Amino acid sequence: MTIENNHVVAVSYILHTIEEDGSKILVEETTAENPLTFLYGVGMMIPKFEQNILGLKAGDKAAFVIEAEEAYGEKDPNSITQLPIDMFQEAGIPPVGAILPLSDGQGNNFQAFVIDVTPEAVIADLNHPMAGKVLDFQVEIVNTRPATEEELAHGHAHGVDGTDAH
């Protein structure tokens, strides 16, 4: 059975970023025993990732590169912000490198990466951690099957075999 919209796809992969000097840095690796399982075609994955696996079937392998602008976008210099140091009086001032859970006025949750701390402010990068990165994937399709009615109603996969409770 080949991958198509509204299929549950289980994929094992190795993800590297390709740095400006051409070197590769390992970001993440999954296995066939613990694959990434997702509902194909509903916007859960990077569109270019889905395009690269469309029509594959269990056992198929593929290798592909996704440029930054087709992955998480380029880094936006306007996404660096200064958070008043007063915000951190109760919780304590975070160190450089910390990841801060934040939310906006509309209830959207996101993360910021602390890049500097001054006496007046915590300087945080609101860009996605993979923004500006070229992604190099090696994938193997573990399984693909039509999604159940329940999975389609919920908008996400319930595991490789459809029985995981989420």
What secondary structure letter does DSSP report for 51? H
Residue given tokens 């970023």 in the structure block: 17
Confidence at residue 104, expressed as pLDDT on a 0 to 100 scale: 80
Domains and CATH numbers, the chain: 7-72+130-154 (3.10.50.40), 77-125 (2.40.10.330)
Which amino acid type is present at position 51? Answer: Q
Question: What value does the mean pLDDT take over residues 7-22?
Answer: 95
> What are the tokens at 38?
């997702």
Residue among 155, 92, 99, 154 at smallest CA distance from 125: 99
- The tens digit of pLDDT for each residue in 92-124 reads 999 999 999 888 888 888 889 999 999 999 999
Would the pTM count as exceeding 0.75? yes
Q: Is 14 exposed, middle or buried (0-12, 13-18, 19+ CB in 10 A)?
A: middle
Residue among 130, 137, 155, 154 at smallest CA distance from 11: 137
Is residue 136 within 8 A of residue 18, CB to CB? The reply is yes
Confidence at residue 163, expressed as pLDDT on a 0 to 100 scale: 66
CA–CA gap between residue 121 and residue 19 (Å, rounded): 30
- The tens digit of pLDDT for each residue in 67-81 reads 999 999 999 999 999
Q: Are strands 61-66 and 134-146 parallel, antiparallel or unpaired?
A: antiparallel
